[in-house]
Amino acid sequence: MRGAWVGAALVVMLGGLTVHRLGSALPPTARDVTADALWAAMLFCLVSCVRPRAAVVHRALFTLLVCVVVETSQRVRTPWLVQLRATTLGHLVLGSDFDARDLLAYAGGVVVAAGAATAWERHRRA
């Protein structure tokens, strides 16, 4: 089961990186919102990999909490954190500037991922 979640996380990550790197055909706002939603969905998959037996709602709430913490941490401007965010990996994981709109995108990504997880887990039980 953990392997499936790792695979799902990799697929979603690839989708997010594709949108981030090659999404120039999208309007900037659509690209940003889509990438943020995929980031949150990937995080849900990783949380599910660590705690696959936890209730979907608990995994979703924890994922959303992490998303909120990461987004609000973008208001912190300590030198080492600014340097970390200046790297490609730091920017992809931690972002750079606080935007409340991102919180909505994260929520959307978590809801879609949790819905897919619920459907998948019901299918497996049947």
pLDDT, tens digit (0-9, with 9 covering 90-100), for 56-114: 999 999 999 999 999 999 999 899 999 999 998 898 888 888 999 999 999 999 999 99
Domain total in the chain: 1
Q: Which domain holds residue 89?
A: 2-125
3-state secondary structure of 75: coil
Q: What is the Cα–Cα distance from 70 to 109, expressed in whole angstroms?
A: 15
Q: What is the Cα–Cα distance from 47 to 49, expressed in whole angstroms?
A: 5
pTM: 0.89
Q: What is the Cα–Cα distance from 90 to 84, expressed in whole angstroms?
A: 5
